[in-house]
């Protein structure tokens, strides 16, 4: 925000509303498959197409997903909940009302705790998470760019209509674009690791809007907010919020006022633009859906779901940073990759050496995984073998060069590194007499280098050490080689 004139005198106040598609086999109120993509209008039935006479019946798994999400954020799961109808007309909404939740959502309150890149911990309160159904999808035609503005007609696909959707509304506790992204990342990794959603922004299973306002630092009142839409990646959320904050500050600095409106993010221009001015007050005519009966959420069910919760990303992050001493970046990398983190945990458990485990898992193994396009946990390397390797390195049985070779071989499926070392005699040579012999041979064969060294060209040392390592087939203890070589050359 370098170009902002007085950045320090304003702070942003941001609240985020997310719609997250839940991962279930079937849709929210019917048995059609809940799956991304596919030929248009092939995953539809009387219920999700709102044919005359069809009735909704709620999906038990979606309700349990909601409870799990609520508990993960410490929300209250009330004893009683119900579905309401939100009435408005839209061509991709088959019933022309959405089954949603109005005054008795499945979860209330809660807090999302998240960290920033520098490790600062932040928190954002949740207002509520409620359960509803997704709409179909319209493709706008005739405008050339697929956008609604200027289109002459639209094509509707109802495959997505009726997919269970959680709407997660935050309190306006977010103060910057960085925090917004930190919050969204926490939401994403938590919901994903709970198994309640794929949370893929690119597939639309996570969609979010941001309410942005600014106020002078120190003020407790809220400024006029705008609602930003059309952000389709975390990067665009970041850019959109920064751009909107700047726009609002510039307005206020000029003595103008922010207008309450919905603004669309333009990815290409990098700015927000007005979509509709002055919200015409929507009259959604919410009322309890008479096709559905209320939910009484048994405490036993809540406890059952609670007991089945996995270790949450936040606790994993804290474990890695405080107990294992990982830095924020390393810990984040692991926390965001659950199978890798689970592999890592197994290596730590077997080796009791988090530092080496981090080096190997995030270093060599991750590099190999990248090169081969195969995740670590699906490779031939098993945690027990990596723990063996760590033990061999720690005991100085092998040097790091051999270790690197071994890990490549383990990836190729050669199995236990200990067995390889024993079978092939790869243990490090630490016997000074043997090493001295190698050195003597090398010095004898490279007289010119020896002369050069003694004439002050000390950089030939590396070459000579390399020759020794080569002669020892890499098994010589490099530290010992260095020491002895120096003695010989200078002695």
Q: Which residues bind Mg ion (CB under 5 A)?
A: 167
Q: Is 259 in the site for another protein (CB under 8 A)?
A: no
Q: Is 56 in the site for another protein (CB under 8 A)?
A: yes
Q: Is 30 in the site for Zn ion (CB under 5 A)?
A: yes
Segment near Zn ion (CB under 5 A); pick from 24-32, 199-207, 278-286, 386-394: 24-32
The CA distances from residue 385 to 31, 310, 359, 375, in Å, are 45, 26, 15, 17
Q: Is the separation of the CB atoms in 163 and 34 below 8 Å?
A: yes
Applying CB under 5 A, among 32, 241, 249, 334 the residue interacting with Zn ion is: 32
Closest to another protein by CB, 89 or 202: 89
The beta strands (E) that lie in 233-355 are given as 261-266, 271-277, 287-288, 295-296
Closest to another protein by CB, 62 or 386: 62
**Residue 120 DSSP label:** -
Q: Is 46 in the site for another protein (CB under 8 A)?
A: yes
Give min distance, CB of 5 to Mg ion, in A.
Answer: 37
Closest to another protein by CB, 140 or 238: 140
What size, in residues, is the chain?
491
**Residue 485 DSSP label:** H
The residue among 99, 87, 88 whose CA lies nearest residue 55 is: 99
**Residue 38 DSSP label:** -
Segment near another protein (CB under 8 A); pick from 44-52, 212-220, 401-409, 438-446: 44-52
Segment near another protein (CB under 8 A); pick from 220-228, 288-296, 415-423, 437-445: 288-296
Q: Which residues contact 470 (CB under 8 A, 6 or more apart)?
A: none
CA 338 to chain centre: 10
C-alpha angle 55-56-62 in degrees, rounded to nearest 5: 170
33 C-beta neighbours (distance < 10 Å), count: 13
Applying CB under 8 A, among 11, 132, 134, 157 the residue interacting with another protein is: 157
Closest to another protein by CB, 26 or 428: 26
Mode of pairing for the β-strands spanning 226-231 and 261-266: parallel
Q: Is the separation of the CB atoms in 357 and 348 below 8 Å?
A: yes
Q: Is the separation of the CB atoms in 130 and 100 below 8 Å?
A: yes
Residue 395: contacted member of Mg ion, Zn ion, another protein, none (CB under 5 to 8 Å, by partner type): none
Q: Is 302 in the site for another protein (CB under 8 A)?
A: no
Query: Which of the residues 212 through 241 are near another protein (CB under 8 A)?
Result: none
C-alpha angle 212-218-219 in degrees, rounded to nearest 5: 60
The residue among 332, 32, 296 whose CA lies nearest residue 182 is: 332
Q: Is 22 in the site for Zn ion (CB under 5 A)?
A: no
Q: Is 91 in the site for another protein (CB under 8 A)?
A: yes
The CA distances from residue 367 to 243, 348, 362, 374, 402, in Å, are 36, 19, 8, 10, 17
Closest to another protein by CB, 43 or 385: 43
Applying CB under 8 A, among 4, 7, 9, 61 the residue interacting with another protein is: 61
Q: Is 292 in the site for another protein (CB under 8 A)?
A: yes
Per-residue binding string, another protein, 3-42, x by CB under 8 A, is ---------------------xxx---xxxx-----xxxx
Q: Is 487 exposed, middle or buried (0-12, 13-18, 19+ CB in 10 A)?
A: exposed
Residue found under tokens 């000074």: 432
Q: How many residues bind Zn ion (CB under 5 A)?
A: 5
Residue 314: contacted member of Zn ion, Mg ion, another protein, none (CB under 5 to 8 Å, by partner type): none
Residues in contact with another protein by CB under 8 A are: 24-26, 30-33, 39-46, 49-63, 82, 85, 87, 89, 91, 94-97, 138-140, 142, 148-149, 151-158, 275-276, 280-281, 283, 285, 287-288, 290-296
Residues in contact with Zn ion by CB under 5 A are: 30, 32, 45, 47-48
């Amino acid at each position: 925000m370098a170009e902002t004139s007085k950045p320090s005198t304003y702070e942003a106040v941001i609240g985020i509303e997310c719609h997250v598609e839940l991962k279930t086999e079937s849709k929210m109120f019917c048995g059609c498959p809940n799956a991304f993509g596919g030929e248009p209008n092939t995953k539809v039935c009387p219920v999700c197409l709102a044919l005359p006479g069809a009735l909704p019946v709620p999906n038990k798994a979606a309700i349990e997903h909601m409870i799990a999400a609520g508990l993960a954020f410490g929300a209250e799961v009330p004893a009683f909940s119900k579905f309401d109808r939100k009435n408005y007309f839209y061509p991709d909404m088959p019933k022309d009302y959405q089954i949603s939740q109005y005054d008795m959502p499945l979860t209330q309150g809660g807090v999302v705790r998240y960290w920033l890149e520098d490790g600062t911990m932040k928190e954002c309160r949740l207002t509520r998470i409620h359960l509803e159904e997704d709409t179909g999808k319209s493709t706008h035609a005739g405008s050339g760019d697929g956008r609604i503005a200027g289109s002459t007609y639209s094509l509707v696909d109802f495959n997505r209509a009726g997919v269970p959707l959680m709407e997660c509304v935050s309190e306006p506790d977010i103060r910057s674009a960085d925090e917004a992204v930190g919050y969204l990342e926490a939401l994403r990794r938590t919901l994903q690791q709970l198994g309640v959603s794929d949370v893929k922004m690119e597939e639309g299973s996570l969609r979010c809007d941001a309410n942005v306002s600014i106020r002078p630092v120190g003020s407790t009142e809220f400024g006029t907010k705008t609602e930003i839409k059309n952000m389709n990646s975390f990067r665009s959320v970041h850019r959109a919020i920064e751009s909107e904050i700047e726009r609002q500050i510039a307005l206020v600095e000029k003595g103008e006022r922010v207008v309450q409106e919905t603004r669309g993010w333009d990815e290409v221009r990098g700015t927000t633009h007005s979509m509709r001015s002055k919200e015409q007050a929507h009259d959604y005519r919410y009322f309890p859906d008479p096709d559905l009966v209320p939910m009484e959420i048994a405490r036993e069910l809540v406890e059952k779901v609670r007991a089945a919760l996995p270790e949450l990303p936040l606790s994993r992050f804290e474990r890695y940073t405080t107990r294992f001493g990982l830095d924020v970046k390393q810990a984040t990398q692991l926390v965001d990759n659950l199978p890798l983190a689970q592999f890592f945990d197994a290596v730590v458990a077997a080796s009791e050496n988090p530092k080496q485990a981090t080096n190997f898992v995030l270093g060599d193994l991750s590099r190999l995984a990248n090169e081969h396009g195969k995740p670590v946990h699906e490779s031939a390397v098993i945690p027990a073998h990596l723990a063996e390797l760590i033990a061999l390195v720690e005991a100085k049985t092998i040097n790091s060069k051999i270790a690197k070779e071994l890990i490549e071989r383990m990836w190729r499926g050669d199995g236990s590194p200990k067995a390889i070392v024993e079978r092939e005699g790869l243990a490090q040579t630490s016997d000074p007499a043997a090493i001295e012999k190698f050195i003597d041979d090398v010095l004898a064969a490279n007289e010119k280098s020896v002369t050069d060294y003694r004439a002050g060209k000390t950089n030939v040392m590396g070459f000579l050490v390399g020759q020794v390592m080569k002669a020892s087939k890499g098994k010589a203890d490099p530290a010992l080689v260095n020491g002895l070589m120096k003695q010989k050359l200078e002695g």
